[in-house]
Structure 1
Amino acid sequence: MPLLLDSVLLVLVMYSLYKLRKAHLLMFDFRDQSRLDNANLFRQLEGLHGLYAELDLKTSLPPTRGWAASPDFLLEVARHARTAKPAWVVECSSGTSTLVLARCLQLNGAGKVLSLEHSPQYAEQTRQQLRQHGLQDWAQVLDAPLLPYTLAGESWPWYDISKLPADMQIDMLVIDGPPQDTRTQARYPAGPLLFPRLAAHGAVFLDDAARNDELAILQRWQQEFPLLRQSSRPCEKGCAVLINAP
């Protein structure tokens, strides 16, 4: 009987030690995650402050959390637009990035943003925000419902691009749509449909580039468009940059 009791006590002690160790590991994980969250929050605040300084904004931008592009990504886009001075900017999905790009072109004194938007509600919302910021002359939100395209032997729902000027050369392409739930690798069609229209030294910015879908898309684009130089920027959700370098 004493031997059985000792065995039970030993099991209880071992189990208690196991639970204690697990609790300690969870505490360390929570501490590390908290540090990462705080560092990322600080980075986004830095990005937002940088945007307001870079663009000399007098009124506030719409929210940059949730589905919207993060401040660090918007700052990367803004700095390129201010430096490269693109004549034609095309966006896949409209929103805060439309305002940022339009303001860049206003400061540059030249250029036009054409934003493809499949949601009439979001399209009108972005148009209203452009008017509120006095940027309606620098960006146009195009109603672009998702149409079926056959690419690489598959069917893809993607933006209607019929309203884009037929002879335009795209100096800057910002891809932040369609939504991920549209289908697997939903943003892939931007490559075969728009990359052939990139101007020499034109740049592509892909948001959410840290997601598995976007990583797979980048691999496909690399195979199909080997002349485009790919690189990445350290942004919250991932940022891939492709440069047309003939």
Structure 2
Amino acid sequence: MTTSSIVWPHASAAAMRPGSALPGLPLPLLPLDKATLPVRLRHYWSAWLSRQSPAVAVAPPVIEALLDELGTSGWRIRRNAARAIVHLCDAAQPTAVLEFGSGVSTVIFAALARAHGWPMPIVSIEESPVYAERTRELLRRYGVADRVTVIVAPVEEQTLDGWRGFTYRTDDQAVVAALRGLRPDFLFFDGPASWLRSRRDCRYGNLLVAQRYAANGALFVADDAFRRRDRAILARWHAIDGVHVFGLFPLGRGLGLGMLHPSPGATVAP
């Protein structure tokens, strides 16, 4: 295993500075009902436009060092998108985090929890046992494995709230136990893989699954939101009673932002 070069600060105050989402994200949210030309261009020419991405205030040094080591190219989350999530999480100060799709973002959430001294449980749902173990290895490398539970959940066709499609089949008992009886108030959607023709709207099911566990007023962030099908999913979510999608941040491959108010009947009791 490669040894991490990250030096963790002794005090959380040295790692994290006070802040809120607004100073860190001085960007307008693009409305979902306007698929503007810049959004299309950012999707199709993301490699070039990543250099033209709106500036986001840098994350704390320990997070920037992690992004340098882990990389932000290929399928990984883009640096400005990761910074945005850091600022949003810093402002929200979540009680618990539930993530769909593990990887670099999982390490970032764990690093935030350690740097802040937050006791929040972090649960990452991953369909691939191979990728789940890779994520666990990264967490061990950076000394934050105790902060995260990575749960393997197959992606299968199922019916949820009248919708039928492919999504994660989670073990409610395992998820609730990993959350230690808390309801996550920060949700991050970056999976499952949706390029397979048989399950192209599979990320729609993320929110339906998350409703079983989430706190009232949970903030959610969805990556890859520049893609046409993902923007359509955000619009469909917005039409669900109790779900409000604020819009789209023009960062990385697009970040959809919204809030969830699940109905009592949709939740799983801890």
2:112 equivalent among 92, 104, 112? 104
Q: SS at the partner of 1:149?
A: strand
Other-structure match for 1:25: none
CA–CA distance in 2 between the matches of 1:212 and 1:160? 25
Q: Is the 8 A contact 1:51 1:71 kept in 2?
A: no
CA–CA distance in 2 between the matches of 1:245 and 1:64? 32
Other-structure match for 2:194: 180
1:113 aligns with 2:129: no
Please state how far the C-alpha of 1:57 moved relative to its aligned partner.
3.9
2:76 equivalent among 49, 64, 68? 68
Moved more, 232-241 or 220-229: 220-229
Please state how far the C-alpha of 1:231 moved relative to its aligned partner.
2.3
2:90 equivalent among 78, 82, 93? 82
Larger relative contact order (C-alpha < 8 A, sep ≥ 6)? 2
RMSD: 2.9
Q: Structure 2: any 5+ residue segments left out of the alignment? A: 1-40, 263-270
CA–CA distance in 2 between the matches of 1:245 and 1:141? 25
- Report the TM-score, using the length of structure 2 for normalisation: 0.69
- Report the TM-score, using the length of structure 1 for normalisation: 0.75
Q: Which has the larger radius of gyration?
A: 1
CA–CA distance in 2 between the matches of 1:217 and 1:199? 21
Aligned CA distance change for structure 1 residues 36 and 169 (closer, same or farther; 3 Å): closer
Q: Is the 8 A contact 1:92 1:117 kept in 2?
A: yes
In the TM superposition, what whole-angstrom CA distance separates every residue of 1:93-142 from its partner, at most 9, and x where no partner exists? Answer: 10000000111111221212110011111111110110110111111211
Please state how far the C-alpha of 1:204 moved relative to its aligned partner.
0.3
1:132 aligns with 2:127: no
Other-structure match for 2:15: none
- 1:202 corresponds to which letter in structure 2? A
Q: Is the 8 A contact 1:229 1:245 kept in 2?
A: no
Moved more, 167-176 or 98-107: 167-176
CA–CA distance in 1 between the matches of 2:78 and 2:67? 18
Please state how far the C-alpha of 1:185 moved relative to its aligned partner.
1.3
Q: Is the 8 A contact 1:117 1:123 kept in 2?
A: yes
- 1:172 corresponds to which letter in structure 2? F
Q: Structure 1: any 5+ residue segments left out of the alignment? A: 1-31
Aligned CA distance change for structure 1 residues 117 and 149 (closer, same or farther; 3 Å): same
Identity of aligned residues (%): 26
Q: SS at the partner of 2:201?
A: coil
Q: Is the 8 A contact 1:204 1:242 kept in 2?
A: yes
Aligned CA distance change for structure 1 residues 36 and 164 (closer, same or farther; 3 Å): closer
Aligned CA distance change for structure 1 residues 225 and 65 (closer, same or farther; 3 Å): farther
Q: Report the number of matched residues.
A: 212
Aligned CA distance change for structure 1 residues 197 and 40 (closer, same or farther; 3 Å): same
Other-structure match for 1:160: 169
Q: SS at the partner of 2:216?
A: strand
Other-structure match for 2:250: 234
Other-structure match for 1:144: 153
CA–CA distance in 2 between the matches of 1:58 and 1:176? 19
Q: If each structure's helix is expressed as a fraction of its own residues, which one has the higher value? A: 1
Q: Is the 8 A contact 1:85 1:105 kept in 2?
A: no
Q: Is the 8 A contact 2:243 2:258 kept in 1?
A: no
Moved more, 54-63 or 220-229: 54-63
Q: Is the 8 A contact 1:70 1:236 kept in 2?
A: yes
Q: SS at the partner of 1:91?
A: strand
